Amino acid sequence: MRMFKWDLLKILRDWKVRIILIALFLFIASFSTLYQNRSIELPLEETREQYDQTFAIFNVIPDEDFETETGQEIYDKLAEQQEILGNQRYILNQKEGNTVEGLEDIVADYVEQGIIMTEHQLSFYEADDFESQELLISFIPSEEELEEDLRFLNYLQEENVEIDWNPMSPSLVLFNLVNLISGVVTFIIAAILGADRFSRDQEHHWSITQGVPLSWSAQWRIRTLISWVLIWLAVIAGVLISYWINTLSSDSGTIRYPVSILGGDNAEYISILEYSLLVILLSMILSYIIVKLSTGLSFVFRNIYLTITLVIVIFYIPVILLQFPAMAEWNPLTYLQVQPLISGEYAISENISVPRIIINFIILYIILEIIFYFIFKLIPTRTGKLERRKN
Amino acid sequence: MALDVKNLTIKYGDHTVLNEVNFNIEDSSIIGLVAPNGTGKTTLFNAIIRFIPIHEGSITIDGREYKNSSKDIKELHKIVTFFPDQAELYEDFNGYEHIQMYRDIWNKDKKDIDDIITRLNMDSYVKNKVKTYSLGMRQRLCFAMMIAANTKVMFMDEIMNGLDPVNVELVSNVLREIKEDGKIIIVASHLLDNLDEYADEIFFLNQKDVYYTYNREKEMDEYIKGFIDKEALGKLGALPGNTLYLNNNRICIPTAGLHREAVNEMINLLRGLSSRSVSLGPLGTNEHYLRIYKGEQSYETN
């Protein structure tokens, strides 16, 4: 630890680092107020479309098909759906949400109504003896989509959470902010902060930093840890300030609001709080690896632009690997983008789990340690070369 | 046996800079390392401290050979320090922090750096940012950093650069003080007369090797030393073999083989012809340097 204090001071007195960290903090802290769309977007169009579709079903299915027992049951369910959608459409059209006087009891709970409609639609897939079943289900979402919707609505009901229409609600802003942080922003900041941790000393302070009785790998770990801690201090402080600012200007929404993670059979809903903690935790682990890579590369290259470019290129490796899904699933480099992996945007998301992501991070870390074990055996000479020890 | 270098060979590509260099330096010694620019002084330092790859040879300190393993190199760096380049100091740090940094890194027993600062007359500026320092202030700071590191072996490359005569004397005195702690200090410097004041032995690098070593304590051969114009040389008569005629009209006549009367006669003769003082004594580093590296007008009689 005898080097820690001095490496920390060196970083903190670097104006470039100060500016980057302050800019990062300000960007994140002001994210909700400066970069978000403030208008509330109620799903009026979607409700209108669903209402019209339900209406169309009545018109296209022959009346005699509704005469059977199953047909009658379907008819009643469709009618109930149309009534719900009609009421929602009216309320949303008033642009007053749940506050339309005299109708509070009708639209008191979008969640319960959603569950009723989704369960009805799912039951249509089981009505095999209904003559126009094929025609009927062509008007409604797929069974998988309905099941996912039902999981979402059930989660809301179990947790007693209301649907949040307000994109400016603190929880939804937090959700977007966490997604932003876990993406290329972290890579860029990690790349910039690590990119001259060694090269600066090699170029400007060579005679002072050579011959320190501490191995290059130990110095690598110290410098990585310092950069990583500083980045996350700025990020976490920014997120907390951003969330606090949002709570001042908006009273709707809850941090228990559900978001879907992974996909396929693995898909599940967790609260925004859990999602944020999970994504931030994974991003912290991944960003440590990235800062470590960037700092290590700064030992190899004295050109910071080259180091930054290489690190950012690495961020896009998963996009290439996903062109070959069979290989991607088992390749640790696929796990370099946390958010799309967690939110189920990648096809392989269906087959993975959080422990598997962490295991792949550990594999990446070990690979990095092995590569730099050999690199740190080289001597960084004053002329900017890395030379092999000969004797 | 303290620092023992054997068969050290350094090459840059196909060009051999140092070839099978051998020397041994005892504890409590200050060695002056002397050579013209580009002869390999800094390369020798860099090789011993393993800042550059060495092709052949071994480095042994206190009986332990430091090989090419990460562990050995780390151990080597615990006991050897290299004089920092004053241009490479951290401009946004103050002098005190630099000294503290070297103390913290090398010196676990937390040597009191205030004593060092006072001894080197740095109290008035040590708390200022380095970017405000003059060349001499920076040089003294680099020296203070080495003292704070307090390692057994110290390589002082161009240590007197930018120092005024008072500070040259101060640094020379401190060097003499610290060597008493059993240290091995190797100083590369072009202030040759100054080296004679504190160095126990001088190594002259030439032809890719330690060409000549000179120990002023053990130097027995006496010379009559004076200054004489080239045109007046003939008035001295036949000069003994190995007489040196060096730059700035400096002449060094060996007394070996001459009778006392002949020596006195030569001194008196030279005094009459010399524009400056004439003295009797062994050759100094400056004279050896001019002898070995052949200044523009240097020559030696057969």
Q: How far from each other are the two terminal CA atoms of chain A, in whole angstroms?
A: 30
The Cα–Cα gap between A253 and A274 comes to 15
- Least CB–CB distance from A206: residue in B77, B88, B92: B88
Interface contact flag, A208 B84, Cβ < 8 Å: yes
Interface contact flag, B74 A9, Cβ < 8 Å: no
pLDDT digits (tens, 9 = 90+) for A69-108: 888 888 888 888 888 888 777 776 665 555 555 555 555 5
Q: Is the pLDDT of residue B87 over 90?
A: yes
Pinpoint the alpha helices (H) of chain B: 41-48, 70-79, 95-106, 113-119, 135-149, 165-179, 192-198, 260-273, 285-293
The answer to whether the beta carbons of residues A211 and B77 sit under 8 Å apart is yes
A383 touches B: beta carbon within 8 Å: no
A1 touches B: beta carbon within 8 Å: no
A384 touches B: beta carbon within 8 Å: no
pLDDT digits (tens, 9 = 90+) for B228-262: 888 888 888 888 888 888 888 888 998 888 888 88
> Parallel, antiparallel, or unpaired: how do β-strands B244-246 and B299-300 relate?
antiparallel
A contact test, residue of B90, B138, B151, B159 with most A CBs within 10 A: B90
Q: For residue B25, give both structure tokens.
A: 């330096």
Mean per-residue pLDDT, A168-186: 82
Q: Report residue A319's pLDDT band, with 50, 70 and 90 as the boundaries.
A: confident
A39 touches B: beta carbon within 8 Å: no
pLDDT digits (tens, 9 = 90+) for A357-368: 899 999 999 999
The answer to whether the beta carbons of residues A257 and A271 sit under 8 Å apart is yes
B265 touches A: beta carbon within 8 Å: no
DSSP symbol at A181:
I
pLDDT digits (tens, 9 = 90+) for A19-46: 999 999 998 888 766 655 555 555 677 7
Q: For residue A321, give both structure tokens.
A: 């690997």
The Cα–Cα gap between B284 and B290 comes to 10
Sign of CA dihedral A329, A334, A340, A346: negative
Q: ipTM of the predicted structure?
A: 0.84
A390 touches B: beta carbon within 8 Å: yes
pLDDT digits (tens, 9 = 90+) for B109-141: 666 889 999 999 999 999 999 999 999 999 999
Interface contact flag, B70 A214, Cβ < 8 Å: no
Q: B29 pairs with which residues across the strands? A: B184
Q: Is the pLDDT of residue A228 over 90?
A: yes
| Orientation angle between helical segments A272-300 and A170-180, nearest 10 degrees | 20
The residue type at B186 = I
B101 touches A: beta carbon within 8 Å: yes
- CB atoms under 10 Å from CB of B74, counted, come to 16
A contact test, residue of B42, B58, B73, B81 with most A CBs within 10 A: B73
Residues from chain A contacting residue B130 (CB–CB below 8 Å): none
Nearest residue in A to B88, CA atom: A205
Q: For residue B124, give both structure tokens.
A: 């008035």
- Sorted by sequence, the CB contacts under 8 Å of residue B272 that are 6+ apart come out as none
The answer to whether the beta carbons of residues A271 and A331 sit under 8 Å apart is no
